[in-house]
Amino acid sequence: MRAEQLLLLYPRAWRERYGDEFLATAGSGPMPARQALDVLFGAIDAWISADVRRITVASQTPRSEGGPMSLKAFVCQHEVPGVTPRDGLVGAAVMLGVSTILKLFGLNALAFPVSFTLSMPFWLMKGVPRVAQLAIVGGTLVLLGVIR
């Protein structure tokens, strides 16, 4: 398939904002199947992703500087609000500590999933209500205990 055809799969606002950049990046001529599949998944993401919708709507204002990869830069630079380097270090410390303890007790298979799960509230789930954190972390730990 050609880039022009695949561009039609994206939402109208996305095409208006990023269509020229997309075509410049994709180049002319037929796309390899792998690249076309990647573009197809990108179109699906553009239809369902709140980040892409927000960026597309926000970009209806006059354009600032940016090259062909400006959309990719916007989406890839998504950060969890309020997460500091200290939060990341605390999460890493929790992972290392819990992994070490579980390995000492011979629970090697559970060391990573349990330590990762217990570290999530410190960095990945920051800002999520405590009840939701408890449900997700607790539910995951129960599930890990059941499948052990």
| Residue pLDDT, tens place only, 48-59 | 765 655 665 555
What are the C-alpha distances in Å from 60 to residues 66, 72, 78, 80, 129?
Answer: 14, 17, 19, 24, 33
Q: For residue 60, what pLDDT band results from cuts at 50, 70 and 90?
A: low
**Choice between 57 and 127, residue whose per-residue pLDDT is larger:** 127
Statement: residue 5 has pLDDT above 90: no
Q: Residue 21 — left, alpha, or beta (φ > 0 → left; ψ -120 to 50 → alpha)? A: alpha
What are the C-alpha distances in Å from 79 to residues 19, 82, 124?
Answer: 25, 9, 10
Statement: residue 115 has pLDDT above 50: yes
String of DSSP letters for 6-17: HHTTS-HHHHHH
Q: For residue 6, what pLDDT band results from cuts at 50, 70 and 90?
A: confident
Domain boundaries, the chain: 3-76, 85-147
pTM score, whole prediction: 0.47
Q: For residue 119, what pLDDT band results from cuts at 50, 70 and 90?
A: very high
**How many CB atoms neighbour CB 52 within 10 A?**
21
> Which pLDDT belongs to residue 75?
46
Residue 39's closest CA among 51, 53, 50, 25? Answer: 25
> Which pLDDT belongs to residue 73?
47
- Length of the chain equals 148
